[in-house]
Each structure stands twice: as structure tokens, then as C-alpha cells.
């Protein structure tokens, strides 16, 4: 069953048609895959999509080494790899994080934005306990096309950002916190119940998903 639509590696059945359907090639979700599997899938994807970077996320150290060995560029903070040239950019996506500990998730989101064809603009450590830090960058916020807001603990930042601007806001809860944060559940629930209209949410620590959504929003050409 290896054809133009699918590449069958035995352990994986790669969806070659995905770019045609959705505009983006399949991405390798590295968790639960061996380093060899990650490298093999990346290589296969690169062969079928030579003109555009293919992408692997949630990589172990071994998988990052294996990816490097087949020519991929490694992004250690995001624990990700890219193979091939980044696409041209359309749109500017803000990635706004509440605290320093949220950086890995913000990095994954920023890299995903770039891989999917938009420009990431990172704004770190502007949590709501010191509002002046956020208000100081308000003009920058208003210049961006889409905003990804990354926060752990109580996850209040998307509500505040969503009240300041009219751009689409994608909230990413992180597992930063302890005790009653329950691995990011508190932030997730907070964001789902945001009193700011129009905030949408992705899974805990899912910088990748937020990045894809943001980049796709930048492609919309509504009339």
C-alpha cells in the first residue's frame, strides 16, 4: 500500500496527501516513537516534500541525535527538528508567555509558526501579576495578526490579552505549577472559561497545535 497517497514504512503509514488536502505536510509526533522511527519518517517526508521543511516534535535526546544525523536542524528548547528550507512567511503571530518556565512551550509554538509559513514574534514573561509589563507592549500586540498566549498556573493571561485586542487569541495552558494545578488542568479550565470573547484553546503544553492554527489563520483571505 505504498503509493502517491501513502508511504508504508511497516511501522507507519505516512499520509502523503495531507499537504494537498490541508496545505501542510504530515508532522512527526515524536513521543512513543524510537529514534530510528523518527529519523526514517523525517527522511521519507523530506523526500516527498523536498522544497519545504518537514518537522518532528516532542523528541527525546536520542531522537534529536538521530534527526541530526540525517541532516535535520535541531531546536533544543522546543525539543524539535526541521529538515528542509522554511517556507515563505505570511502574517505575524505573537507568542506571549506569562513566565520564564513557560518558555519551552512558547518555543515549540514559535517554531511551528515558522514551519507553517508565518512570522513568530516572541514576548516572554508578561504575567498578570505585573500588568505594566503587558501594557508596555500594547502597541506591538495591536500590530500582530494572531496572538498565541501561553500560561500555566491560573492561566489568566489570555483573558487580559483578549480584552485588549481584537485579533484572534489562541490560548495554550501549560503544566507549569504544582498542587491544585493538577498538571495544567487549572490553566486549561481557566482558559476555557475565559470571560474575554473569542479566545480558543488547545491542549495543555500543545504549542504545536497553537502554532498550526495561527499560521493557518494567516492564510485566510476572506471576502
Task: Enumerate residues 36-55 that contact a second copy by CB under 8 A.
Answer: 37
In the complex with a second copy, the residue whose CB is nearer, 70 or 101, is: 101
Instruction: By CB under 8 A, tell whether 1 contacts a second copy.
Output: yes
Using CB under 8 A as the binding rule, whether residue 82 contacts a second copy is answered as no
Decide: is 103 part of the binding site for a second copy (CB under 8 A). yes
Sign of the C-alpha dihedral computed for residues 48, 51, 57 and 59 taken in this order: positive
Q: Which helix (H) or strand (E) holds 121?
A: strand 119-123
**β-pair partners for 95:** 122, 148
User: What phi, psi does 109 have (nearest 5°)?
Assistant: -65, -45
Q: What is the closest distance, in whole angstroms, from the C-beta atom of residue 86 to a second copy in the complex?
A: 16
Give the shortest CB-54-to-a second copy separation in angstroms.
13
Dihedral of CA atoms 200, 20, 87, 172 in degrees, nearest 10, equals 20
Q: How far is the CB of 10 from a second copy (least distance, A)?
A: 8
In terms of CB distance, is 69 or 192 closer to a second copy? 192
- One of 118, 121, 149, 150 touching a second copy (CB under 8 A): 118
Nearer to a second copy, 85 or 219 (CB): 219
**How far is the first Cα of the chain from the last one, in angstroms, to the nearest whole number?**
41
| Residue labelled with grid coordinates 515524536 | 30
CB 101 within 8 A of CB 72: no
Q: Are 164 and 141 a contacting pair, CB within 8 Å? A: yes
Cα diameter, the chain: 58
Interface with a second copy in residues 123-162 (CB under 8 A): 124-133, 136-137, 145-146, 153-156, 159-160, 162
d(CA 206, CA 199): 16
Query: Interaction with a second copy in 162-221: which residues (CB under 8 A)?
Result: 162-168, 170, 173, 175-206, 208-210, 212-213, 216-221
Least distance from C-beta 22 to a second copy, angstroms?
Answer: 4
Q: Least CB distance from residue 62 to a second copy, whole Å?
A: 16
95 lies in the site for a second copy, by CB under 8 A: no
| C-alpha cell belonging to residue 200 | 480558543
Q: Which stretch binds a second copy (CB under 8 A): 45-53, 66-74, 85-93?
A: 85-93
Rg (CA), the chain: 18
Instruction: Give the footprint of a second copy on residues 6-35 (CB under 8 A).
Output: 6, 11-13, 15, 17-18, 21-24, 26-27, 29, 31-33
Amino acid at each position: 500500500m505504498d503509493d502517491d497517497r501513502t508511504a508504508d514504512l511497516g511501522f507507519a503509514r505516512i499520509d502523503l496527501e495531507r499537504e494537498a488536502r490541508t496545505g501542510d505536510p504530515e508532522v512527526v509526533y515524536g513521543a512513543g516513537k524510537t529514534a530510528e522511527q523518527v529519523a526514517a519518517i523525517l527522511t521519507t517526508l523530506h523526500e516527498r516534500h523536498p522544497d519545504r521543511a518537514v518537522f518532528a516534535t516532542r523528541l527525546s535526546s536520542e531522537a534529536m541525535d538521530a534527526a541530526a544525523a540525517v541532516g535535520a536542524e535541531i531546536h533544543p528548547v522546543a525539543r524539535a527538528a526541521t529538515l528542509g528550507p522554511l517556507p515563505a512567511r505570511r502574517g505575524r503571530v505573537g507568542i506571549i508567555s506569562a513566565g520564564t518556565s513557560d518558555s519551552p512551550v512558547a518555543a515549540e509554538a514559535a517554531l511551528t509558526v515558522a514551519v507553517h509559513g508565518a512570522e513568530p514574534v516572541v514576548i516572554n514573561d508578561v504575567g498578570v501579576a505585573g500588568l505594566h509589563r503587558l501594557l508596555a507592549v500594547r502597541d506591538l500586540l495591536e500590530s500582530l495578526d494572531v496572538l498565541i498566549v501561553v500560561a500555566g498556573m491560573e492561566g489568566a493571561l489570555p483573558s487580559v490579552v483578549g480584552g485588549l485586542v481584537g485579533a484572534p487569541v489562541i490560548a495554550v495552558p501549560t503544566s507549569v505549577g504544582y498542587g491544585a494545578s493538577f498538571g495544567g488542568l487549572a490553566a486549561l479550565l481557566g482558559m476555557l472559561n475565559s470571560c474575554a470573547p473569542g479566545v480558543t484553546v488547545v491542549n495543555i503544553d500543545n504549542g504545536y497545535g497553537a502554532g498550526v492554527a495561527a499560521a493557518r489563520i494567516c492564510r485566510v483571505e476572506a471576502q
